[in-house]
Chain A
Amino acid sequence: MLELIAGTEKTSTQTSSADKKWMLRLYVAGQTLKSIVARANLQRICEQHMADRYHVEVIDLLENPTLAKDDQIIAIPTLVRNLPIPVKKIIGDLSNTERVLIGLDIYPAEM
């Protein structure tokens, strides 16, 4: 079912985008190598760049197959950025950090 990876409540040192929040959903299909890698990569990036300002929901489509249709998921793994808008899909095992950051709308200045 749903699994939550929540950021710990710490005050951010980066005041410029302090009120920016990330609402993320990671879609996987079973415990595959790709999904494990993706979750590890996501965890790392979140902690590095959005500490305390992110909320991640992990959805296993093998358990909730109908969500694939509802959320228009094709590729696995897919990370959906529901916030900040617009909605963006980042597909793949998230090993390309640069592309993930672009997808998450995190600019090098904030890095």
Chain B
Amino acid sequence: MNNTNTPQSLAKSLTGIRGLDEITEGGLPKGRPSLICGNAGCGKTILGMEFLLHGALDYNEPGVFVSFEETNDDLTSNFAALGYDLQDLEARRLLAIEYVYIERSEIEEAGDYNLDGLFIRLGQAIDAIGAKRIVLDTIEVLFAGLSNAAILRAELRRLFRWLKDKGVTAIVTGERGERTLTRYGLEEYVADCVILLDLRVDEQIATRRLRIVKYRGSEHGANEYPFLIDKQGISILPITSLGLDHTVSDERISSGIPRLDTMLSGEGYFRGSSILVSGTAGSGKTSVAAKFIDAACGRGERCLYFAFEESPQQIMRNMLSIGIDLAPWVAQGRLRFHASRPSVHGLEMHLVTMHKLILEYDPVNVVVDPISALTVVGSDKEAKSMLTRLIDFLKTRKITTLLTGVTHVGDKLEASNDEIPSLIDTWLSLRDIEHQGERNRGMYILKSRGMAHSNQIREFILSDKGIDLFDVYLGPDGVLTGAARVGQEALDKSTIVSRQHDIQRKKREYEHKRQALEANILALREEFDTATEIIESLSEEEKQRDAVIIHDRADMAKLRRADLSAA
């Protein structure tokens, strides 16, 4: 085997189209033709032209755009809308537009022919500017203009071989056929790389999708990737392009609610983490978000607020009623609102709009309020994929993200926003606690990755002074909040007071008793002392009497002259 024949990895030509180079893992096959097919209006021409424009401006590869449908003037004005000056590029010899005009009614076929005229034109255009790229949009017009399909097929085969020999990277566009990829079977000739574009309308919302049908000799993403065409051209957002390899921060930032920080092991959220605040309507999610924003702006950080339900004015007015004034932050440029109805675009457009705003404004914190509004636009699955990509994107940029999500009354709490929780680092749940005819708000931390967090439910109170978290009453009857908690606390207090009274009374009672006993003891002691005295005096008396008796006897014996020895 010859050494020069050892297989090399396929050389690729970067398209410069955001996302496409990622899913093709480096672009289109270099020096070979690729086929882009799809229905009318699906973006083939823009994709082709962008390939040339990026080649000319970013990769120093001039290109030829062979248009079978649109004239130079049409193309120039169409792409002026995207901010490109095609005439200027032509003047700088970075781009050549070759408009090929075929009108069947003006053509009479009288015998054998070939397409040397076209070859000569392409060769001229390529050589004139040293083109490395070429787009043929769409070559199938030949089939409409010329009737001899046998000649056309042979000539197309020759054309693609010729382009390969010239070493130009080519894009050939083709209309989608009924059952085939292209109406005239172009995929037969251009077999290296086939990309299918699709525009689907689902519930009045159009979504564009791109799929790589085949890419010979290369790895490629096999999914259908949604893409967008907007003022900046095409952007494709491959779902899997972002991995889980973003760096994480140990820095902690305040939630804006001191008591909540305490619950989050005393320090608040992690910087760059994703926080979900879920709860039923009116449970105070936006208030938690506003507190967070207020604190962040106070630290001098830029915040971007995506509002899908309320207008910025409405949010600011409402937040003012609980003592959070966001207007100064907006005025200082630290807070920007982006409010839009979820239904104005498809999900992908939302995602790209958000991407763009984030890239443009470069915020430190982002709020999406609420994410559940987006499920209205797309299916749950699409919404999930969109949020995954959004959160991944935000995480790679180390942006702290607070999302709010609506759960519905009666939903199992943990079922809210179905699969989204796996993306969430800190999940705060706001619950309505209904008891004794009133509704109160409770908050607890469902999870918070990487920190020892409180497992306690706290009563969440919104007042004109802001947000407060209180311990709930935990008694034999369970968790009590609101008036019930206050009532129970009062009841507890009165019980304690009456018990204290009881004790005081008993104390006094026994004091009396003790005092009485002491008096008794005193009296008895006196009695005892008296008795002792009496006993002492009696024994003295006895002694004296004995002495007297002995004396008397002696006297008597003396008198009787008795024997004294007896004495």
Which of A's residues lie within 8 Å of B, judged by CB? 27, 29, 34, 37-38, 41, 61-62, 65-66, 68-69, 72-78, 86-97, 99-100, 102-103
Within B64-123, which residues are at the interface with A (CB < 8 Å)?
98, 100-102, 106-118, 120-121, 123
CB of B104 to closest CB in A, whole Å = 10
Query: Are the CB atoms of B111 and A87 closer together than 8 Å?
Result: no
Query: Are the CB atoms of A68 and B124 closer together than 8 Å?
Result: yes
Q: Return 5 A-B CB contacts under 8 Å, by A number.
A: A72-B101, A74-B102, A74-B121, A92-B113, A102-B108
Tell me whether B472 is interfacial, beta carbon within 8 Å: no
Query: Are the CB atoms of B110 and A103 closer together than 8 Å?
Result: yes
In whole angstroms, how far apart are the Cα atoms of A85 and B110 in the complex? 19
- B127's nearest neighbour on chain A, judged by CB, is A65
Query: Are the CB atoms of B107 and A68 closer together than 8 Å?
Result: no
9 interchain residue pairs of minimum CB distance: A92-B111, A103-B108, A76-B116, A99-B110, A73-B117, A95-B111, A93-B111, A29-B116, A96-B110
In whole angstroms, how far apart are the Cα atoms of A27 and B115 in the complex? 12
A-B contact count (CB 8 A): 100
CB of A2 to closest CB in B, whole Å = 17
Our pick among A61, A88, A92 for the contact of B120 (Cβ within 8 Å) is: A61
In the complex, chain A residues whose CB is within 8 Å of the CB of B320: none
Chain B interface residue count: which class? 20 to 34
CB of A80 to closest CB in B, whole Å = 10
In the complex, chain B residues whose CB is within 8 Å of the CB of A77: 113
- B125's nearest neighbour on chain A, judged by CB, is A69
- A95's nearest neighbour on chain B, judged by CB, is B111
Within B109-168, which residues are at the interface with A (CB < 8 Å)?
109-118, 120-121, 123-125, 142, 146
In whole angstroms, how far apart are the Cα atoms of A91 and B152 in the complex? 13
Query: Are the CB atoms of A75 and B106 closer together than 8 Å?
Result: no
In whole angstroms, how far apart are the Cα atoms of A7 and B36 in the complex? 50
Residue of A38, A92, A97, A100 with most partner-chain B CB within 10 A: A92
| A72-B100, A75-B146, A86-B106 known; A94-B120 Cβ under 8 A | no
Our pick among A72, A73, A90 for the contact of B110 (Cβ within 8 Å) is: A90
In whole angstroms, how far apart are the Cα atoms of A65 and B119 in the complex? 10
In whole angstroms, how far apart are the Cα atoms of A66 and B106 in the complex? 21
In whole angstroms, how far apart are the Cα atoms of A93 and B148 in the complex? 14
Query: Are the CB atoms of B117 and A87 closer together than 8 Å?
Result: no
Our pick among B109, B114, B116 for the contact of A99 (Cβ within 8 Å) is: B109
| A68-B124, A69-B124, A72-B101 known; A88-B117 Cβ under 8 A | no
Residue of A62, A74, A76 with most partner-chain B CB within 10 A: A74
Residue of A34, A97, A102 with most partner-chain B CB within 10 A: A34
CB of A66 to closest CB in B, whole Å = 7
Query: Are the CB atoms of B120 and A29 closer together than 8 Å?
Result: yes
In the complex, chain B residues whose CB is within 8 Å of the CB of A69: 98, 121, 124-125
- A27's nearest neighbour on chain B, judged by CB, is B117
In the complex, chain B residues whose CB is within 8 Å of the CB of A37: 111
In whole angstroms, how far apart are the Cα atoms of A29 and B115 in the complex? 10
Query: Are the CB atoms of B111 and A78 closer together than 8 Å?
Result: no
- B111's nearest neighbour on chain A, judged by CB, is A92
In the complex, chain A residues whose CB is within 8 Å of the CB of B100: 72, 74
| A65-B120, A66-B124, A68-B124 known; A74-B115 Cβ under 8 A | yes
In whole angstroms, how far apart are the Cα atoms of A12 and B494 in the complex? 132
In the complex, chain A residues whose CB is within 8 Å of the CB of B110: 90-97, 99-100, 103
In whole angstroms, how far apart are the Cα atoms of A66 and B123 in the complex? 10
Query: Are the CB atoms of B112 and A88 closer together than 8 Å?
Result: no
In the complex, chain B residues whose CB is within 8 Å of the CB of A65: 120-121, 123-124
Taking A34-B112, A95-B111 as given, write out 18 further A-B residue pairs in contact, using a Cβ cutoff of 8 Å, ordered by the A residue number.
A29-B120, A37-B111, A62-B120, A68-B121, A72-B101, A74-B115, A74-B117, A74-B121, A74-B142, A75-B113, A75-B114, A75-B115, A75-B118, A88-B106, A89-B106, A90-B110, A91-B109, A92-B113
CB of B145 to closest CB in A, whole Å = 8
In whole angstroms, how far apart are the Cα atoms of A41 and B112 in the complex? 12
Query: Are the CB atoms of B124 and A89 closer together than 8 Å?
Result: no
In whole angstroms, how far apart are the Cα atoms of A62 and B120 in the complex? 8
Our pick among B108, B115, B142 for the contact of A76 (Cβ within 8 Å) is: B115
Query: Are the CB atoms of B106 and A92 closer together than 8 Å?
Result: no
In whole angstroms, how far apart are the Cα atoms of A88 and B146 in the complex? 14
In the complex, chain A residues whose CB is within 8 Å of the CB of B98: 69
CB of A32 to closest CB in B, whole Å = 8
In whole angstroms, how far apart are the Cα atoms of A109 and B155 in the complex? 37
In whole angstroms, how far apart are the Cα atoms of A91 and B155 in the complex? 15
In whole angstroms, how far apart are the Cα atoms of A86 and B112 in the complex? 24
In whole angstroms, how far apart are the Cα atoms of A87 and B105 in the complex? 10
Our pick among A73, A93, A100 for the contact of B108 (Cβ within 8 Å) is: A100
In whole angstroms, how far apart are the Cα atoms of A65 and B401 in the complex? 61
Query: Are the CB atoms of B108 and A29 closer together than 8 Å?
Result: no
- A30's nearest neighbour on chain B, judged by CB, is B116
In the complex, chain B residues whose CB is within 8 Å of the CB of A100: 108, 110
Residue of B109, B116, B142 with most partner-chain A CB within 10 A: B116
In whole angstroms, how far apart are the Cα atoms of A63 and B124 in the complex? 12
- B123's nearest neighbour on chain A, judged by CB, is A65
CB of B75 to closest CB in A, whole Å = 16
Our pick among B109, B125, B142 for the contact of A92 (Cβ within 8 Å) is: B109
CB of B536 to closest CB in A, whole Å = 155
| A65-B124, A68-B121 known; A87-B115 Cβ under 8 A | no
| A86-B106, A87-B106 known; A68-B111 Cβ under 8 A | no
In whole angstroms, how far apart are the Cα atoms of A37 and B102 in the complex? 24
Query: Are the CB atoms of B113 and A93 closer together than 8 Å?
Result: yes
Query: Are the CB atoms of B115 and A89 closer together than 8 Å?
Result: no
